[in-house]
Amino acid sequence: MARIKPTHFYPILHLHPSIRRYGVAVEYFPHYVHREENLHSIDVVLLSVILRGRGRHLLDDDVRPVTGSSVDVTHYGQKHDIVTDARGMEIYNVYLDLRHHTLPVLPENLRPTLSAILPIHPRLAHQLNRQISIRLDQVDRLVASLRRIEEEMDSAEPGALEIVQHSFQVFLIDLCRAAQRHGFGLSHSARGEFPAWVEKLRQEIDRDFALPHDLRTMAREAKVSVAYLCRVFKAYTGKTVIAYVIERRIQAAIWKLREGDEKVISIALACGFNDLAYFNRVFKRILGRTPSAYRRKIKEPGKRAQRRS
């Protein structure tokens, strides 16, 4: 029988005022030593920026070795823990509240990477994006941005908002560049090996989510039956093929709603929905509000922060 590990919950949103103000907070641990497993979850997205040291990153029942010069992005609410050796780690924790705050706008050629590595909403989690790992090769540049955010995030000095936003934007640009140079590793909790076609299919859906997807065509190209394709895909991702396609389209729509003022009907069509009423219905079922209401809600914290500065 598997050993049941206790899990704790830490309400980060209540511990760091800057998250409510800017949507981001930074915590620095110059000598982090943690030898005992303590699985826990938090109410924000966590970026563990590991500068030096070695350890193990636990995600539910999965264990993966981690070393310096890397970033682990952990999805909302995931039970995880980083266990170090006796020498410990130098690490920055970056906390992001993406449910209620917009992000700095990045150049067009970095936006697809950002949407792939940052979980935009807790209800869009699946087995492969619960945690994402990125290798770093220009750590000093990221550290400079994080240090400035940490200095300014609770400051009452004039211009603190602008410095936090600019430093956060530079950090995200460097993070996306690293992901583009080296790729990024996905989480996976399912046991056993999977055929190569299932990951190829998943990548094709991620790339061509707005196009029609037919199960018979997918199965024919993979040279398997429809029933087998559906069974393997769900075991691999934790989602049915149809659910994965729909949630991928909703994810793309969320980013468009956050980044600009494009009409909702145009966003729906661009993301593969031919029926606006159906798009509104699916969006509300997954996120709890309509696309228009979501856009208003997500942009309100930034307006309040600007008024306070």
pLDDT digit string (tens) for 176-205?
999 999 999 988 655 568 999 999 999 999
Q: For residue 256, what are the contacts with CB-CB under 8 A and spacing of at least 6?
A: 262, 267, 270, 271
Domain count, the chain: 2
pLDDT of residue 60: 84
Q: What is the pLDDT of residue 306?
A: 52
Q: What is the pLDDT of residue 260?
A: 86
- Domain CATH code at residue 172: 2.60.120.280
Output the pLDDT for position 303: 55
pLDDT at 189: 55
∠ CA 44-283-264, nearest 5°, is: 110
Clarify whether residues 182 and 204 are in a common domain.
no
Residues of the chain predicted below pLDDT 50: 1-4, 309
Residues 175 and 256 in one domain: no
216 and 181, same structural domain? no
Do 88 and 229 share a domain, yes or no? Answer: no
- Give the pLDDT of residue 61: 78
pTM of the model: 0.91
Same domain as 228, residue 205: yes
Identify the CATH number of the domain in which residue 261 sits.
1.10.10.60
pLDDT at residue 195 in the model: 94
Is the residue at 286 inside a domain?
Answer: yes
**Residue 306: inside a domain:** no
The confidence score (pLDDT) of residue 294 equals: 96
- Tell me if 191 is assigned to some domain: no
Q: Establish if 271 belongs to a structural domain.
A: yes
Is residue 105 domain-shared with residue 160, that is, in the same domain?
yes
- Is 115 within the bounds of a domain? yes
Q: Which domain holds residue 76?
A: 8-186
Q: Are residues 117 and 84 in the same domain?
A: yes
The predicted pLDDT at position 300 comes to 79
Is residue 61 assigned to a domain?
yes
- Please check whether residue 307 lies inside any domain of the structure: no
